[in-house]
């Protein structure tokens, strides 16, 4: 596994920017020191460094639309006509150093293009806003079904060289408490070890249930990262 060198830590602290300038360059768009994912891939935008002014008007002229999230590195201010619509904190977590044991994958399926409608339906119920029509293009997604219904899934989203995020871990509310999220996360961790890449994940600071789950699996908090959603400012007087 890659050691936690200072350069790697810096990339993890500004994960969106470095993913877009690394393995995900083909999914991104850039204007100077501003980069963002295609809207149907992921709702994230990034700047190279906090002191870089976000050139949002130029980005909008080049196709950037709608709302998006800055993660970790947040601009101090936004151009006129743009605003921060929400702010919160996410916790970046790393798994234990011991190798992930193989998991019983009975009932776990590799998800494909034909499963996309079910993935979108599940995320609307359990993981809204962050999963888009082409998010699954970013990596492997695994699922558990009840009959023809996809009821739990987990997959891969952000990536650096040698590093892979586990994301989209969600279970339909009617199927909670059956250990599906744990099994799917373990299955991805085992795959990452086999590929020789380091797993990591993000969880909302306020999502105590998810944090307890990951902590019970040996994950530890590496950093708390600011999450700031931006969008168009309402015209004055409205």
Q: What is the CATH number of the domain that holds 111?
A: 3.40.630.30
d(CA 85, CA 138): 27
Is 98 found in the same domain as 69?
A: no
User: Of 57, 5, 67, which Cα lies nearest the Cα of 37?
Assistant: 67
Is 149 found in the same domain as 68?
A: no
Is 45 found in the same domain as 110?
A: no
The total number of structural domains in the chain stands at 2
Residue 147 included in any domain: yes
d(CA 144, CA 86): 33
Q: Is the pLDDT of residue 26 over 90?
A: yes
Is 23 found in the same domain as 115?
A: no
d(CA 76, CA 47): 11
Q: Is the pLDDT of residue 238 over 60?
A: no
- What number of other Cβ atoms are within 10 A of residue 202's Cβ? 20
Is 130 found in the same domain as 208?
A: yes
Q: What is the pLDDT of residue 215?
A: 97
Between residues 98 and 228, the one the model is more confident about = 228
Between residues 177 and 6, the one the model is more confident about = 177
Is 111 found in the same domain as 172?
A: yes
Whether 19 contacts 158, CB under 8 Å? yes
Task: Find residue 230's DSSP bridge partners.
Answer: 68, 84
Is 58 found in the same domain as 100?
A: no
Is 196 found in the same domain as 115?
A: yes
User: Of 60, 53, 55, 48, which Cα lies nearest the Cα of 75?
Assistant: 53
- What average pLDDT does range 210-231 have in this prediction? 97
Is 116 found in the same domain as 44?
A: no
132 Cβ contact list (under 8 Å, min separation 6): 39, 40, 41, 42, 43
Chain mean pLDDT for the chain: 93
Q: Is the pLDDT of residue 2 over 60?
A: no
Residue 74 included in any domain: yes
Is 123 found in the same domain as 47?
A: no
> Predicted confidence band at 7 (pLDDT cuts at 50, 70, 90)?
confident
pLDDT digits (tens, 9 = 90+) for 124-134: 987 778 999 99
Residue 1 included in any domain: no
Is 99 found in the same domain as 84?
A: no
Between residues 31 and 125, the one the model is more confident about = 31
d(CA 82, CA 148): 43
Is 216 found in the same domain as 170?
A: yes
Place of tokens 């050139």: 55
Place of tokens 């299955």: 187
Expressed as residue numbers, the domain containing 21 is 6-90+226-232
Task: Kindly write down the DSSP assignment for every residue of 104-140, as one continuous string.
Answer: --TTEEE--GGGHHHHHHHHHHHSTTT--TTGGGGS-
């Amino acid at each position: 596994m890659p050691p936690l060198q200072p350069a790697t830590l810096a990339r993890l602290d500004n994960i969106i920017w470095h993913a877009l300038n690394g393995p995900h360059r083909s999914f991104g768009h850039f204007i100077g020191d501003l980069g963002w994912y295609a809207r149907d891939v992921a709702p994230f935008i990034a700047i190279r460094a906090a002191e870089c002014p976000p050139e949002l008007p130029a980005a909008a002229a080049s196709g950037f639309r709608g709302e998006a999230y800055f993660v970790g590195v947040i601009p101090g201010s936004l151009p006129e006509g743009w605003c921060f619509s929400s702010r919160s904190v996410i916790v970046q977590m790393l798994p234990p150093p011991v190798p992930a044991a193989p998991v019983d994958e009975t009932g776990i399926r590799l998800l494909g293009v034909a499963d996309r409608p079910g993935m979108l339906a599940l995320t609307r119920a359990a993981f809204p806003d962050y999963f888009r029509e082409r998010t699954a293009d970013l990596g492997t997604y695994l699922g558990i079904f009840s009959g023809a219904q996809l009821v739990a899934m987990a997959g891969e989203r952000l990536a650096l060289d040698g590093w892979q995020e586990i994301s989209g871990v969600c279970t339909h509310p009617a199927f909670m408490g059956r250990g599906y999220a744990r099994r799917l996360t373990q299955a991805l961790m085992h795959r990452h070890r086999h590929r020789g890449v380091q797993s990591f994940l993000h969880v909302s600071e306020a999502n105590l249930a998810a944090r307890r789950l990951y902590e019970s699996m040996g994950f530890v908090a590496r950093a708390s990262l600011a999450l700031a959603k931006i969008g168009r400012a309402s015209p004055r007087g409205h």
